[in-house]
A and B are shown apart, each in its own frame.
Chain A
Amino acid sequence: MYALTGVTKRFTKGRKEVRALDGVDLSIGDGDWLAIQGPTGHGKTTLLQLLGALDRPTSGSVVFDGDDLAKLSERRLAAVRARSFGFVFQFFNLIPTLTAQENVETALVPLKVSAKARRERAATALADVGLADRSGHLPAELSGGQQQRVAIARALVTEPAVLLADEPTGNLDEDTRDEIIGLLEGLWKDRGLTLITVTHDSTVARRAPRIAWISKGRVSLRKDDRRVQRPRRATRKGTDGEAPPKGDDGATVPKSAGGASPVTDGTTEEETAAE
C-alpha cells in the first residue's frame, strides 16, 4: 500500500533549518495498523501529513498504490485525499457552525454524491459510531469523545482505504481515550482498512500490532516480525521520558477492548542494531 524511500522533510524557520524527517524508509501493507510513536516534536505529524498527501516531501518518494504522492498535481492530490484517505485529528477539527450530520457530509462533498445519498450515508456513519441521536447537534454541544466520534464518522463515511489519525486521543480523558481507541480498533478489524495512528502515548501505541518509533525525524522498526524497538538515540538521550514501546508480539493484540497488550520492558540495543 505504502512505500516510503529516503523521505526527508525540511522546514525553514527564519534562518534555521529544521529537519522534521530525515531519510525515512517505511513500508505499510494493506490492512495494517501501524502506530507511529515518538516524543513531541520529532516528526510524527509531519510523517502523517506525507502519508495523507497533505504535504510533499523535500526529497524521497511516498508511493501510495503505485502513485508517487510527491509528484501528483494538487488536483490529483485533492482527489486522492477525498477518495482514499480519512483523517482524524487531535483537535477534532469539526466545522463549528455545522451540525454533526453536516460535518460528516462535508467529506462527501468532493465526491459529488447526491444530496439524498449524502444525507443517508452520513446518518449511517453517525450511527456506526453510536451518535445517531446527536446528528443535529453542533460540535460545541458535544463532549470531546463525541466530537471525536463525529470526526471518525466523517473520516469513514467515504469508505477510505486508509484511516490516518493524529493523536486521536491526545485531547481526551483516559476513559474516553480507551473508548475511542476501542472504536478505531473495532473499525479496523471490521472494515479491513489500513489504520495509521500517531501518538506519543505508549498505552495507545501498544494497542497497535505494529509500531514505528520516530525520533529526530528517523523511523526505526523491525520489519520482519513487526516488533518494535526503541532506537538507540532515544534511549540514550531520553528525549521525553516516554516509556519505550515494547518488543511484544504485535500480531497477537488482544481483541477484547479492555485488555492492553502485554508489555515487556527493556528493549535491547541489539534489537535496535538488528534493524
Chain B
Amino acid sequence: MFLTYLRRELRRRRRQAIVVALGLALGIGLTVTVTALSSGVQSAQQSVLHSLYGVGTDISVTQQADRGSGGPQRFDVQRQRGSDQNRKSFSTDRVTAGIGLQSFGAATVAKIAKQPHVSAAAGGLSLTDVKVNGKFAQQQGQEGQGGPGRGGFGSGGSGGNPGAAPSQPPINVDTFSIEGVDLSAPGVGPLSSVDVSTGRSFTAADAKAKVAVLASGFAKQRGLTKGKTLTISGTKFTVVGVVSGGGQSTDVYLPLAAAQSLADQAGKVTTIYVKATSASAVDAARAEVKKVLPKATVTSSADLAGAVSGSLSGAASLAGNLGRWLAVVVLVAAFVTAALFTVSAVSRRVREFGTLKALGWRTRRIVGQVLGEALVQGVLGGVIGIALGFLGTYLVNRLAPALTATVANGATGGGAGGHGGTGGPGGGRFGGGFARAAQHTVEVHLAASVTIGMVVLAVALAIAGGLIAGGFGGWRAARLRPADALRRVD
C-alpha cells in the first residue's frame, strides 16, 4: 500500500515532483561540480608543487652564495674551448652550477639525513648548460666591453645589464637545465614525482652510468627519444627514458655523479631534498635542518603553496569561494523550495490525510508517507544531480583554459633564486636570470574528476533535501486534525 500510494501520488503531482527534484539536482550537481573543480585545482596545485621537488619531498634546502664570491663558475667567452677568435666566431658549451647558490658537501646531506625527524635526504645538483655560438662583429665583444649578452637572454632574467655594445646577430644561445639526481635515496627528490612516458627512470644501477632521463617537453623539442644520445659539454649521454609531470623546470636528469663531474663539482650539491618522518613532523624537521644550516633557505610545501600565483591560484580561489558560495546558495534555495512545495502539497491534501486519519491511520504512517514521497524526490534529484555533476565536471575540464601557476622567486626548490644584477659591463657574467628563470611558471591542465566521496556527498545531500522537505511536510501533516476531513471542501 505504502509503495502503491507513494507512486500514485508522485505520478499525480509529477510536475511538482520534477520541479523539486530538478531544484535539488541543480544544487547537488553544482556542489559536485564545484567540489570536483576545487579538488582538481588542488591536485593541479599539488602537481605544480611536486613538479618542483617531488612527491616525497617535504622540505627543500638551498643556500645563497655569499655575495661577492659569486657562483662557482665564471662565464668567459674568450676562454671557451672551440672558439676561434681569428675566425671571429666562437662556439661554447659550458655547464654551470646554479649561479649564486652555495653548494653543500655530501657530509652535510648525510648529517641532515640523520636528524630525528628526517626520514631521508637526497642531494641534487642544479646545473645549466649553455651553448653559445656565433660570430663577433668586428672589434666588438672584447673582454671588458660588455660581452655578448644582452643579459636577459636567459629566460626571463632581469639581472644582466645590456652590454655596452651589443654584438650583432647571429649569436645562437641555447640553454637547458640539468638536475643531478641522487639515486641512493629514490623516494625523495625531483624524479620521485614523474610519470615515465617512455623508457624508464633511473635505477640505483645507473649511479655511475652516462645516462640521461629527459623531460617530455625537452625531448620533443630536441627530437630526442629513448636510445638516442645527448651530448653535454663534450660528454655523451644515452637517453634511457622520457618522463612527464616532473619538474618542468628541469629538462635533463642525470645521475648525480655525472652531473657533478660535468660541472667539476665532485661531491657537491646545490639542493638538499628532505623527507620528514611524517606529515606532522615537517615543522620539526625543518627546524632541525635550520640548525644544521643556519644560513640556508629552507622551504616546505606549505611555503611553496603560498607562493603559487597565477591563474591556477585564481581558479583555486574561484572554486574555493565563489563556487562554494554559489553551490551553497543554490542548495539552500533548492532545499527551501522543496520544503515549501512539500508543505503546500500537504496543505492541499488536508482532506485526504484527514480522511486517512478518520480511517484510523496513525499520524506516524501519514508522516511516513509524506517523508517517503519527499525522499523519492530527493533521491531522484540526487541521481540527476550526480549526472549534472559529471556533466559539469566534464564541461569544466573541456572548457577550462590551461592554467598557469607561477612560483615566486626563492621558493623554488629547483635551484632558482640566484642574485640578479651582477652582469655588469666587462664582467661577462650572467645573473641569476641565466641560471633559471627567477620566476617559475608552470602550465597545468585542470583535471577535475568526480570521486566516490563526491557521489556519497551528493547522495547525502539528496537524502538531506528529501528529509528536510519531508520533515516540514510531515510536520504540517502531523498537525492536521482528522476533523478537517469532514469539514474541508477542496
Interface residues of A (CB under 8 A from B): 45, 48-49, 52, 54-55, 74-75, 78-83, 85, 87, 89-91, 93, 95-98, 102, 105-107, 109-111, 115, 118, 154, 158, 166
| A89-B485 in contact given A106-B1, A107-B359 (Cβ < 8 Å) | yes
> Which chain B residue shows the least CB distance to A46?
B483
**B389 CB to nearest chain A CB (Å):** 33
Alpha-carbon distance A93/B358, docked complex (angstroms):
11
| A54-B1 in contact given A49-B486, A89-B485, A98-B8 (Cβ < 8 Å) | no
Q: Which residues of B contact A154 (CB under 8 A)?
A: 359
Q: Which residues of A contact B87 (CB under 8 A)?
A: none
Interface string of B346-376 (1 = CB under 8 A from A): 0000011011111111110100000000000
> Which chain A residue shows the least CB distance to B358?
A87
Contacting pair B483 A109 (CB below 8 A):
no
Contacting pair B1 A102 (CB below 8 A):
yes
> Which chain B residue shows the least CB distance to A53?
B482
Of the residues A48, A95, A158, contact of B355 by C-beta under 8 Å: A95
Q: List 23 A-B contacts (CB under 8 A).
A: A49-B486, A54-B482, A55-B483, A75-B362, A78-B357, A78-B360, A79-B360, A81-B357, A81-B360, A83-B360, A87-B355, A90-B486, A93-B352, A93-B354, A93-B355, A95-B352, A102-B4, A102-B5, A106-B5, A107-B359, A110-B362, A118-B1, A166-B486
Is B489 at the interface (CB under 8 A from chain A)?
yes
**A113 CB to nearest chain B CB (Å):** 10
Overall SS of chain B's interface = helix
Q: Which residues of A contact B481 (CB under 8 A)?
A: 54-55
Q: How many of chain B's residues touch chain A, expressed as a range?
A: 20 to 34
| A106-B356 in contact given A78-B361, A97-B12 (Cβ < 8 Å) | yes
Contacting pair A97 B11 (CB below 8 A):
yes
**A94 CB to nearest chain B CB (Å):** 8
Alpha-carbon distance A126/B365, docked complex (angstroms):
25
Contacting pair B482 A55 (CB below 8 A):
yes
Alpha-carbon distance A75/B5, docked complex (angstroms):
23
Q: Which residues of A contact B4 (CB under 8 A)?
A: 98, 102
Contacting pair A49 B483 (CB below 8 A):
yes
Q: Which residues of A contact B359 (CB under 8 A)?
A: 81-82, 87, 106-107, 109-110, 154
Is B303 at the interface (CB under 8 A from chain A)?
no
Contacting pair B360 A82 (CB below 8 A):
yes
Of the residues B9, B360, B489, contact of A91 by C-beta under 8 Å: B489
Of the residues A80, A96, A111, contact of B12 by C-beta under 8 Å: A96
Q: Which residues of A contact B354 (CB under 8 A)?
A: 93
Q: Which residues of B contact A107 (CB under 8 A)?
A: 359-360
Q: Which residues of B contact A79 (CB under 8 A)?
A: 360
Q: Which residues of A contact B358 (CB under 8 A)?
A: 52, 54, 81, 85, 87, 93
**A159 CB to nearest chain B CB (Å):** 13
Known pairs A89-B355, A90-B486, A118-B1. 11 more at Cβ < 8 A?
Answer: A81-B357, A82-B360, A87-B486, A89-B485, A93-B358, A97-B8, A106-B356, A109-B365, A110-B359, A110-B362, A154-B359
Q: Which residues of A contact B487 (CB under 8 A)?
A: 45
Q: Which residues of B contact A87 (CB under 8 A)?
A: 355, 358-359, 485-486
Interface string of B170-188 (1 = CB under 8 A from A): 0000000000000000000
Q: Which residues of A contact B361 (CB under 8 A)?
A: 78, 82, 106, 109-110
Alpha-carbon distance A222/B38, docked complex (angstroms):
82
| A97-B483 in contact given A75-B362, A78-B357, A78-B361 (Cβ < 8 Å) | no
Contacting pair A98 B5 (CB below 8 A):
yes
Interface string of B475-490 (1 = CB under 8 A from A): 0000001110111010
Of the residues B360, B483, B485, contact of A110 by C-beta under 8 Å: B360
- Max chain A C-beta neighbours (<10 A), residue from B5, B355, B356, B489: B355
**A104 CB to nearest chain B CB (Å):** 10
| A74-B356 in contact given A45-B486, A45-B487, A89-B486 (Cβ < 8 Å) | no
The 5 closest A-B pairs by CB, nearest first: A82-B360, A97-B8, A110-B360, A93-B355, A81-B360
Q: Which residues of B contact A49 (CB under 8 A)?
A: 482-483, 486
**A175 CB to nearest chain B CB (Å):** 24
**B80 CB to nearest chain A CB (Å):** 92
Q: Which residues of B contact A91 (CB under 8 A)?
A: 351, 489
> Which chain A residue shows the least CB distance to B359?
A107
- From 357 to 405 in chain B, residues with beta carbon under 8 angstroms from any chain A beta carbon are 357-363, 365
**B14 CB to nearest chain A CB (Å):** 11
- Max chain A C-beta neighbours (<10 A), residue from B358, B365, B489: B358
Q: Which residues of A contact B352 (CB under 8 A)?
A: 93, 95-96
Alpha-carbon distance A270/B487, docked complex (angstroms):
36
> Which chain A residue shows the least CB distance to B7?
A97
| A95-B5 in contact given A87-B359, A110-B359, A110-B362 (Cβ < 8 Å) | yes
Q: Which residues of B contact A96 (CB under 8 A)?
A: 12, 352
- Max chain B C-beta neighbours (<10 A), residue from A74, A89, A90, A109: A109
**A25 CB to nearest chain B CB (Å):** 21
Alpha-carbon distance A55/B485, docked complex (angstroms):
11
Alpha-carbon distance A158/B8, docked complex (angstroms):
24
Contacting pair B12 A110 (CB below 8 A):
no
- Max chain B C-beta neighbours (<10 A), residue from A54, A79, A154: A54
> Which chain B residue shows the least CB distance to A95?
B352
**A220 CB to nearest chain B CB (Å):** 23
Contacting pair B486 A54 (CB below 8 A):
yes
- From 422 to 473 in chain B, residues with beta carbon under 8 angstroms from any chain A beta carbon are none
**A102 CB to nearest chain B CB (Å):** 6
Q: Which residues of B contact A166 (CB under 8 A)?
A: 486
- From 1 to 52 in chain B, residues with beta carbon under 8 angstroms from any chain A beta carbon are 1, 4-5, 8-9, 11-12
- Max chain B C-beta neighbours (<10 A), residue from A80, A110, A115: A110
Contacting pair A109 B1 (CB below 8 A):
yes
Q: Which residues of A contact B362 (CB under 8 A)?
A: 75, 78, 110
Interface string of B114-129 (1 = CB under 8 A from A): 0000000000000000
> Which chain A residue shows the least CB distance to B361?
A110
Alpha-carbon distance A183/B418, docked complex (angstroms):
104
Alpha-carbon distance A89/B487, docked complex (angstroms):
10
**B487 CB to nearest chain A CB (Å):** 7
**A66 CB to nearest chain B CB (Å):** 19
Contacting pair A110 B5 (CB below 8 A):
no
**A236 CB to nearest chain B CB (Å):** 29
Interface string of B37-80 (1 = CB under 8 A from A): 00000000000000000000000000000000000000000000
Alpha-carbon distance A87/B357, docked complex (angstroms):
11
